Structure 1
């Protein structure tokens, strides 16, 4: 039976993050912002037989107008009228030489997979191969805080069953070292630790952080994207000077950067993201490249609402190479847009087992948080 795409709608929303003292994460501080509410853009795809599929992305450049315009004025005319099943053909045909459209395509492609699963009465993970895992352990994420608050919230992560904690870092790298020491001591070394300066350190600072932690017998699960992505040669040198694994995240948003780093043996971990990669199909191609180069793999989180979080779970359920827990802040929202929110239980989230993404979007909640 032929199912045809009839509409593509972009819906900008802004959802509050729960305060830290109430079990959430706000204010979530990094070296470039402080998060208390998050702007996301939802994508709703409709078909001629009444099926709806959902996708999600971070609002590009913090502009709902720009994000919606790209999806509805550029992508929709190229997609409406195509067969729902022709996901790969659509992605291969979509090309604009001077504009990076992969994040927008990533959100739309997620919605296409969701709708296709509904049509075929199969989950996204089943359509992608499935069978790897029914539940996914996730990493607890913590912004930059005082030493005492870092201790307190790290202990809370352990109490709630998490095994891995990721914290933001920079611009005061010495304070970051003190926070990592405090977290390690407060949890008796029970947590695997990740630190993410978001490209905020120089090569020298990254080396000194690593050396000081090594002197204390603290070895990170990985140090994520410590230096700028355009500092060519930096990561190759860092791997030669540090015993901490080096992860790249923002570099994976540019496929050629990832290929280069793999070729130069300049990273230990690839922290991929299905939306900037261009969707589930594209991110699995990146995963294959990194796996062949011997890198460990995990998935990034950008304050994802339930739609993209479900897509990540299905990706893990169908991709054995994803061997490290994905970041997640799903437990941190003040409210949810899913009729039945995903549940973080003992540091893990079950893979939804319904058709498509296995979720039901509460369109009333979507309208509540919808913005102009």
Structure 2
């Protein structure tokens, strides 16, 4: 039952609430949905989200990559010989990590389905739920406090707060959130590259002096400037997480060698898929770096893949898998701050975007 077809379609799925960061404001998820079909009609699915300010990959580029060289490299291959197929996938083109991740996930999904097991089980795990934080968009103090209180009421116990768009006001807003939710709720900050090095050290130092119990600060400085990231890491007590600075293995090696961060956020669309993510996990753990798995602003397909990875391998902190929660009528179940993994084989999800695709 060789691979008989690889097809793509464009999905544009609305969010129930605008998603606001220091980099952008999003009202929709935009992705290339990929389906890999074997000769017996079994299918696997994956997706390549368009996130201009992180990966730089467009829908048109990802779709062309999948429909062209990746498809050519994989047609006729044996879905059960997964590692050989992944070797061919990653040798077919340079870069294009989002497109590769979409096909990598689809191949994993197909392989698990052919065995009749969940992707988590296929990867060697057994968990059926995984905890996640939920993101609070960048906003004014009153709106931020109201959103925090609502998310806690819904059962989330870890809040990720977008900062960096207004450094002068960030401290007051975080103080207000901490006062509103109490000390038992985890707070983590994501600056999305919004501060310079000295500014980051000053602001994080004020959080520390105020005793706000910040779990970590994610990507405080520009992604390309590892000197700035290392400067902040060496001068703060609060753990610093690399996100946009780390796409693949070489990036993480450089971060480790320069001691530029304490933790890393592994995202499938940044690194190229599940196999690459597993390599990043191993490298981080070998060097005592903290890990989480994150999601882009993507659909239930990408989030289900990321959650399955976490269910199989675990992370050192609660992961960041709330992207599907932002979708209108989300196809994944979120309950008491956890994602409930679908019970079916593979990812347990379908493309299911007929009314929201183009």
Q: TM-score, normalised by structure 2?
A: 0.94
Q: 1:367 aligns with which of 344, 354, 358?
A: 354
Report if the CA contact (8 A) 1:291-1:321 is conserved: no
Structure 1: distance between partners of 2:181 and 2:149: 6
1:96 Cα deviation after fit: 6.1
Q: 1:93 aligns with which of 88, 106, 121?
A: 88
Please report the RMSD computed on the Cα atoms of aligned residues, expressed in angstroms: 1.8
1:219 Cα deviation after fit: 2.7
SS at 1:297 equivalent: strand
Structure 1: distance between partners of 2:86 and 2:118: 21
Structure 1: distance between partners of 2:314 and 2:184: 25
1:35 Cα deviation after fit: 1.2
Partner of 2:49: 58
1:32 aligns with 2:26: no
SS at 1:181 equivalent: helix
1:97 Cα deviation after fit: 9.3
Structure 1: distance between partners of 2:300 and 2:94: 28
1:14 aligns with 2:4: no
Q: How does 1:176-195 map to 2 (within 5 A)?
A: 176-195=170-189
Partner of 1:23: none
Structure 1 residues 95 and 152 mapped into 2: Cα distance closer, same or farther (>3 Å)? closer
Structure 2: distance between partners of 1:333 and 1:358: 18
SS at 2:177 equivalent: helix
Q: How does 1:182-221 map to 2 (within 5 A)?
A: 182-221=176-215
1:330 Cα deviation after fit: 2.2
Partner of 2:130: 136
Q: 2:97 aligns with which of 97, 102, 110?
A: 102
Report if the CA contact (8 A) 1:269-1:296 is conserved: yes
1:319 aligns with 2:317: no
SS at 1:65 equivalent: helix
Structure 2: distance between partners of 1:347 and 1:295: 24
Partner of 1:21: none
Structure 1 residues 109 and 98 mapped into 2: Cα distance closer, same or farther (>3 Å)? closer
Structure 2: distance between partners of 1:254 and 1:279: 10
Report if the CA contact (8 A) 1:15-1:335 is conserved: no
Structure 1 residues 345 and 318 mapped into 2: Cα distance closer, same or farther (>3 Å)? same
1:60 Cα deviation after fit: 6.1
Q: 1:172 aligns with which of 154, 166, 183?
A: 166
Structure 2: distance between partners of 1:361 and 1:259: 35
SS at 2:214 equivalent: coil
Structure 1: distance between partners of 2:204 and 2:92: 40
Report if the CA contact (8 A) 1:60-1:67 is conserved: no
Structure 1: distance between partners of 2:92 and 2:72: 18
Structure 1 residues 111 and 96 mapped into 2: Cα distance closer, same or farther (>3 Å)? closer
Report if the CA contact (8 A) 1:31-1:171 is conserved: yes
1:352 aligns with 2:346: no
Partner of 1:22: none
Report if the CA contact (8 A) 2:201-2:232 is conserved: yes
Partner of 2:65: 70
SS at 2:37 equivalent: strand
Q: 2:151 aligns with which of 128, 133, 157?
A: 157
Partner of 2:35: 44
Structure 1: distance between partners of 2:47 and 2:357: 13
Structure 2: distance between partners of 1:319 and 1:69: 32
